Amino acid sequence: MKKIIIAALMSIGIMGTASAQGIIGDGKTYVSVGAGRVTATNDERTDYSVAVGREINQLLRAELSYDYLDANSTTNVARGQAVMGNAIGQFRVPGTIFVPYALVGAGYGWNTFGDRALYQVGAGVRAEVTKQVDLDLRFRRIGNFDNDAHSNVVTAGVSFKF
C-alpha cells in the first residue's frame, strides 16, 4: 500500500511541476488509460493501466506508468502491480494520423512479480483521432532483471492531451 501512495504522490508531483512550469495546455502533456491481456507461462490475466507522459520533441516522449494485473482464479496467481518509467521513440507517418513507436522502461513490481526490479521493451502505434485524443495499441514484454520471469502484455487505450 505504501508503494501505491508513493506512486500516486510522484504522479501528482510531476503534474504540479508541469503546471508550475507552464507546460500544461500546449497539447504535449497527456494522461492515458488502457486495458488488455497479459500472457505468461500457464497464466492469462487482464491488465489495467494508467500513464502520465510528456512529448519532449517530435521523436521522443517520457512516461510514468502504473499497471494493475487482476488475479487469475484458475492458476491461483495473485494480483500484481508495477510502476515504470518509460522512454518512447516515435515517428509520425507523413500524411497519416498514425505514429508508430518503440519503448523501453524500468521500474518496480510487487506481488505477482515477486517484489523486484522490472524492465520492459515494446512497440505500438498511436492514432490521432483529434488534437486532444489519441487511440493507442501497444505490445510490451515485461520481465525482471534476474531473467527468471517475463510476461507479454497487449493493451488498447486512449490518451487525452492537454
pLDDT digits (tens, 9 = 90+) for 66-101: 999 887 666 656 688 999 999 999 999 999 999 999
Distance CA 94, CA 108 (A): 36
Instruction: Give CATH for domain 2-161.
Output: 2.40.160.20
pLDDT at 20: 47
For the entire predicted model, the pTM comes to 0.81
SS3 15: helix
